[in-house]
Chain A
Amino acid sequence: MKNILKNTALLIFFSFALTSCVDKWLDMRPDDQVVLEEYWTSAADVEAVVASCYRYMITDDYMYRLFYWGELRSDNIAMDNANTDESNLWNVNIQPDNGITRWNSFYQVINYCNTVIYYAPGVMAVDQNFKEYELRTYLSEALTIRALSYFHLLRTFGKVPLVVKPSKDDSEDFNVPQNTEKEIIDQIIADLTTAEGYARDSWATTASTKGRVTKNAVRALLSDVYLWNQEYDKCIESCDKVLNDKINEIILLETDYLYSKAFYEGNSPESIFELNFNSNLTKNNVTPNLFGNINKNISRGHLKGSASLINAYSLSYDTRLKSTLVAKYSNNKIEMTSAIFKYEGQKVPADFSKELYVFRSASSTANWILYRLPDIYLMKAEALAEIGETSNLRQAITLVNKTYTRANPEIDSLKFEDFNTAASVKKLVLEERRREFAFEGKRWYDLLRLARREGSTANAVQYILPNYSDATLITEKMAQLGAWYLPVNEAQISINRNLKQNDYYNSIYGTK
């Protein structure tokens, strides 16, 4: 009996000892990952998540949409080897199940930005070496990338949910409704204003100065936002800050170097902000797929240049044409093809026994340019033209001439006398923007800005009509401004019932 008691006591003792260990034993953490509880302890932790904000902008999903949303439906584009989603969008046959309307990649980037903005300030308390100015720099990057993402969402969908807190766990309600355009634009402007104060002027390397957020990058984006929001004075003011920055001067490239330096090499002196692709693991798959690149086993791109785009240039004089679309030489004459040259082409010295271009090699990577100096000129010109008054219009023509004369060295610059009304200057700026930024993901937003400003699609729709055989149908389809935005993806509505479909699409397809 004594033995039994002793043994039982021992058993109980051991089981107690065991239970205290058990909890520890079951608290297992991953070997190859860090958990939130152990993260956010050093400056390096902050920097790595900031890097992710950029890293997920250069994913295919994000990159494709930068182009699709900004240009696919415009008059610059014709279908080549397009997929169903692309041709449906281009054909103005837009269903809410079109994959292009999925905004996942944008909100993924936004969530990473939110994460930085939420957690980074706390690191100062943990890491003594993490300085205030470093924090500010990182915040400026996160705020700018977030603003950039929202700016694209805003221009594509009109109203979108505005999420500014990181998503942490499953207890939160993610079924958030859309915010108004004003709420979104206010947030964007507020973020960018803060970021402008926080951002660095430049980085140690050229690649970083062009590839990461700088004060000028923030200003360029802010100018674009003001222009969209029809705050022309502020737009001009912001553009001037870039133009007057003499320390980190942005310099316009010379005619001959534009395509080899800006698009082939990347990070050129005229660039303000561009997404850098520079390793095998972060290849740019988007431009070769969309525009075609024989060296990457893609004989035909999804898209090609439209006939009206070719006509927008002067074949004999405008050097941009032969560098935007593939030019072929036959019978001692240059003939334009509709294949896209920008980003994927490399110009070779004019040797008339050969074609004028080669494609990038299979391993090369093209940077995607968000803003470069001509954009500042032309945004300012647009703002000036909108304000009107002769002096402003004159100034606008001068700005347009910066890119125009560079592209047409053999002819005279544009004269104010030929464009002496506000309307004609506006039209000129729009055309010059088209020629300068074709295939850079901007044309659709330019046209939409026009329609919004005029409160009518009547003029804007005229630009896209040459692309379609049935003008009446397209005019009818695009009559409402709502049709110029994209519908909210139906799968996203079926998950999040608080989302409302864009009114225009709602009227066509009905409520689900």
Chain B
Amino acid sequence: MSNLSNYYQLYINSVIKLASTLVIKSAETADGLNSYVLDYYGSGALDTLNPHSWKYYMNISGEYHPTDAEMYVVSLDTLENIKFSKEILKTHLATYDGYKYGTRQYKELVNRYPDQELLIRGILYPIDIDVAINAKDGTILIYPTELIEYNEYSLITNLQNWIYGYKERWVNKQFGISDKLYPATALGIMYLNLVPAIINFRLAACKTNEAHSFHVHQYLASHGFLNTYLDTMTIKQALFFYRNIAYIERNSGKKEIFNWLIEHVMTERSLPIAEYEMRHNLANQPDELYPTLTFNKQPINSAGSANPKTVFSLNEVLDKEDSLARDNLEYKNLDMPVIKSAMENSLHNVQETKMLESSVIDYTNSSPYNIEDILLNHWLYLSSIDKYKAYVLVTNPKTDEKLSLSAKDAYILYLYCYCKSIGIKLEHIPNMIAYRVQQTITRINNHSTIVDFDILLKLVDQKIVNKSIIEFAVSMQPNIATIISTQAFYSTCTQIYDAAQMQRRLVSTQEHFIARGMVANAIDRIYADVVCDLVDGEMLYPDWFLARTLDIEDLSRDELVLLYSDILKQSTGLAVNTTSSLKTLQKAMVNLLSQLSSYTIQFVSEINDTNIKQTDWPSVRVGTVKGNNNAVIDVPNLFVDLIHYDTNVNSALKVDLSNDNVIGTIRTKDLISEKILFDFYAKLGHPGTIIFEIMNISNIQVKPTIPLVKNSMDVIPVIGIDKYLSLTQAQQQNMKDVYNSFISEPMPGNSQEDLDQLAASRYVVDRYVTPDYTT
């Protein structure tokens, strides 16, 4: 009952907090504050035609009215004295959290400025001033979203309607004419009634998907204490059991219920579950009298099992059950022969067992660059160069004294406590190496940026690694400016972590094996190993403690562990003892399934206890591919596209010119050649390729349309030779050119040798025409 009372009290507190922080537009309040300004500061302080200048609207939108006193607080991020304003709180995130409604700091601030609580709330939960001005009276303008649960879709709508109805039914504006405090009283009573209204709306939502977690918790607690699993359930799972647990209880033992549970407990969380089936392996029969027993693991749901092994021996199966009960190990040896005999003699060669197994590999923190390493190293590096300037508040576990430390001092103290807790007492504050930290380069306006892009490009051969790959590699890297809050530091480190994961995948996608190495190296160049000086020169720890009036020498080992864990958590934002590990989840879900199952089944689970470290071994890849094509193509002339044509024809006649008679054989085919130079569109997928080809054509025949007749020398002459022969010798010698290249020079002599030389060296005609004796 006391447990219920505690939960109930927490629930009621959250309802009151929600009712207290709902900002509901109140025109009467705006008018009242205007009257206050008018009365105390005169008509010059109020512009009645400009609501943007009214105190009410300015305050609820987080703006100071000229009549408001400026509020200053000590930043919980930097310990500086800062103005309490919505703009400054955007960067001082720890301060913002520390001053949220209902906290000790909030109450202290309200005590200091009792007339400005409206402004304080406006600064913490500011609304758009135009929205506020244009809203209907009674509109809910803003509320802390964390006070409304994810599945309470219609609660605010219901509250809004209730407020409109309340004002319509109960508020009589005219009373304000005679009683000035009536609007304030009516508003106060309405806020008081908001508490039961919220409680009633949440009660009305019971047994629906909008049920508040308090009601779900209490309901499941009364059904097998399923509330103990709520921390590990998703909302969907919690609502599933909230809706169906009574049906499950009434129908337990049915196959469909078991399948339903598998789906909503295991598959919903991507947890595999498999059943074991005994089979007779007859491979060794008839040499062996009995069949060999094998146990096949069959998946029940679609989630992939981590262990690919599917066939087990009896011994292996019994080994899996060792830890299920205290004496299993002892009884296993006794019972194994009995089990073996019973199964070997089973009338069925396939027999289902009652063992179910969930085999999972937890890859949490398996990346080579995990978030813990990134937080720790960047905490050291950024605080040592004064980029991480937040102050953290830690608790001395012995005295409960609050210690306010800068990020750098926190690291120095963390180092001391950690080393002392493992038996190493540091004398001097050492220089520490921050490994693989993102470099910061100071650019204009003292803003830091990431590594110089051009340097990365110089580390790779751009013929192999495209510039866009390097651009992509740095695209997710955060720009590290001065960090003044733990939240901002954690956010920055998360971005670095996300970038590192992307970069790992980018390296693995490189298919050219040289490119893979180059991209990996260029990415490594974004980071650096930096030796960090935590103090100027040498300093002993006792002196450092003395300077800060810290006294932790008498802390026990356990207290040191508590202290350094607190420092780590407060400085990095890392939740040290998380309960959301996959192992915890698997254990909870298997227990839940086991509890709701009526079968006498045994669940075994398998998961790694420690983090898996991935080595990122490079696989063998293909690098540069060189190709060489050869083609010989027989091209029909019809398809040849001649775009350029040259002829060069040689001909030599051996003629006795003086006697006008042919001597010897006229060498025709041997002496005649024709060269054609042409361009050819090759159609090989290389448009525009021009191929030059030289063809030797040995013979071109032309058939004259009029048959040739023998001349006076009783020979069929070459076309045109008659005219040539009819010329005098002098005329023949003066003839310079017949078609294109004929050059006739004076005969060097009349000897046979001279004639041969002439015939061999002269171009005579461009084409040789073979007489056609047949036509």
Q: Do A and B come from one complex?
A: no
Tell me the B residues contacting A by CB distance below 8 Å. Answer: none
Tell me the A residues contacting B by CB distance below 8 Å. Answer: none
